[in-house]
Amino acid sequence: MAASMNQRVMATRPRGLRPASKNGPILDKGNLSLPQSSASWDIVENNPSIHPQWQPEYFGDAIVVNGKAWPYMIVQRRKYRFRIINASNARFFKFYFSNGLGFIHVGSDSAYNEKPVMVKEFLLAPSEIADLIVDFSNSNSDSAILSNDAPYPYPSGDPVNEANSKVMKFIIKGGHVLDKSKIPTTLIKYPSPNLSDASVTRYIALYEYTSNTGEPVHLYINGKPYEAPVTEIPKVGSTEIWNIINLTEDNHPLHIHLGLFVALDQTELLDVDKFRECMKKINDAIKCQVDKYARGKKIEVPAHEKGWKNVYKMMPKYMTKILVRFSYIHSNASYPFDATAEPGYVYHCHILDHEDNVMMRPLKFTN
């Protein structure tokens, strides 16, 4: 039995509105529901001198799963498969079960894992996909809350509260159920990423710009607005190395149209303020001696995220190295359409508010 579960944040209010009082969801008879109470709102944190609707990120109050706020699902004590997409504007989710159940991670945005990976929790950025199996026969209780503890904005924002720390409830029926389904020990092995195949190495810098009062006003990639002439022109069928330099305070889920990529490593940037000052002046990682700064601690890519992806989380104040393939990964075959045709493609941060203002750049292809 398979189930599909889409995660998104209901667009109930802008980030700049706060309720005068907050009540969390009530667990009652298997339902996760909001109490029927009224609330007044105070307007704060807006940027009218920049744009009356511009907010750095947009967070709603209600967690919505397949169109329902804080729903529940009755399940049997057997394996279920879930395909989860984070369709929220800006909210990251770090999923875990309240009763300690684990997840068997089998795939992500564009490809299966080479083999299943058991995890107790996992982080999902906006637009990221997780393909999972949950075996409810392992539950030591008759219910489990799918929970979230990712700060917002991620990773250094506010802690979750009673409302946004709950996603949905599973009611686990008692009794033995015959489950003949099996999880393969191996899945699909795609061609391994090969650094020697890379024909180009690029440095992609992520910037946030603020007003004199410290308010965010816009975000750029490589210090350029979207309308600036295209600077990334890969060859169809090529492989490239992209070093993503995140000079902001936020984690940015990067998405490259037509490109699938493997995250290789993430390296901390030392003395980042000095490096950022140079980069904002000349936007040249080589001339700013990036190797002098990208020599801090390395973060290993989690086992369940080592496969081919089309979205990956770029940690703040880190340089993330990815190997990008502009062809089909299973066969290296070219696209069955003309990728060089106008108007071309884009790459961007997948936080909706960021790509709209305007953390996005054009991407065009050549043969």
Report which of residues 211 and 119 the model is more confident about.
119
Q: What average pLDDT does the structure give for the chain?
A: 86
- Is 181 within the bounds of a domain? no
Whether 253 and 359 map to the same domain: the answer is yes
Whether 42 and 164 map to the same domain: the answer is yes
Token pair in block for residue 180: 């003949």
Mean pLDDT of 58-63: 85
Above pLDDT 90, what percent of the chain?
Answer: 73
Position 98 scores a pLDDT of 97
The tens digit of pLDDT for each residue in 180-196 reads 999 999 999 998 888 99
Position 47 scores a pLDDT of 54
- Give, for 272, the enclosing helix (H) or strand (E): helix 272-282
Measure the CA angle with vertex 83, ends 79 and 87; round to 5°. 145
DSSP 8-state assignment for residue 142:
S
φ/ψ of residue 256, rounded to 5: -115, 115
- Is 184 within the bounds of a domain? no
Position 7 scores a pLDDT of 33
- Is 165 within the bounds of a domain? yes
pLDDT band at 235 (very low <50, low <70, confident <90, very high): very high
Whether 208 and 337 map to the same domain: the answer is yes
pLDDT at residue 15 tops 60: no
pLDDT band at 25 (very low <50, low <70, confident <90, very high): very low
Q: Which residues pair with 245 in a beta bridge?
A: 205, 319
How many structural domains are present in the chain? 2
Mean pLDDT is lowest, of 70-84, 217-231, 321-335, for 321-335
Cis peptide leading into residue 191 (ω within 30°): no
pLDDT band at 357 (very low <50, low <70, confident <90, very high): confident
Whether 10 and 138 map to the same domain: the answer is yes
Cα–Cα distance for residue pair 41/73, rounded to 1 Å: 32
pLDDT at residue 251 tops 90: yes
pLDDT at residue 207 tops 60: yes
pLDDT band at 27 (very low <50, low <70, confident <90, very high): very low
pLDDT at residue 135 tops 60: yes
Count of Cβ atoms closer than 10 Å to residue 332 Cβ: 12
pLDDT band at 8 (very low <50, low <70, confident <90, very high): very low
Whether 119 and 206 map to the same domain: the answer is no
Give one DSSP letter per residue of 219-269, joined into a string.
EEETTB-TTSPP-B-PBTT-EEEEEEEE-SSS-EEEEETT-EEEEEEEEEE
Cα–Cα distance for residue pair 131/267, rounded to 1 Å: 27
Position 17 scores a pLDDT of 26
pLDDT at residue 14 tops 60: no
Mean pLDDT is lowest, of 45-49, 66-70, 89-93, 298-302, for 45-49
Whether 343 and 203 map to the same domain: the answer is yes
Confidence (pTM): 0.85
Whether 101 and 157 map to the same domain: the answer is yes
- Is 179 within the bounds of a domain? no
Whether 51 and 136 map to the same domain: the answer is yes
Position 51 scores a pLDDT of 63
Domain that holds residue 52: 2-172
Above pLDDT 70, what percent of the chain?
Answer: 85
Position 26 scores a pLDDT of 30
- Is 9 within the bounds of a domain? yes
- Is 50 within the bounds of a domain? yes
- Is 177 within the bounds of a domain? no
The tens digit of pLDDT for each residue in 141-181 reads 999 999 999 999 999 999 999 999 999 999 999 888 899 99
pLDDT band at 20 (very low <50, low <70, confident <90, very high): very low
- Answer with the one of 139, 172, 205 that is the final residue of a domain: 172
Token pair in block for residue 14: 């802008």
53-71 per-residue burial string, b: 16 or more CB within 10 A, e: under 16: ebbbbbbbbbbbbeeebbb
Position 59 scores a pLDDT of 87
Closest CA to 33 of 9, 1, 69: 69
- Is 111 within the bounds of a domain? yes
pLDDT at residue 322 tops 90: yes
pLDDT at residue 292 tops 90: yes
Whether 123 and 234 map to the same domain: the answer is no
Whether 26 and 139 map to the same domain: the answer is yes
Is residue 111 within 8 Å of 260, Cβ to Cβ?
yes
- Answer with the one of 136, 157, 172 that is the final residue of a domain: 172
Dihedral (C-alpha) 325, 323, 127, 219: value to the nearest 10 degrees?
-110
Whether 258 and 148 map to the same domain: the answer is no
CATH code of the domain containing 82 = 2.60.40.420
pLDDT at residue 366 tops 90: yes
Position 44 scores a pLDDT of 39
Mean pLDDT of 207-221: 88
Whether 254 and 208 map to the same domain: the answer is yes
Is residue 183 within 8 Å of 229, Cβ to Cβ?
no
pLDDT at residue 260 tops 90: yes
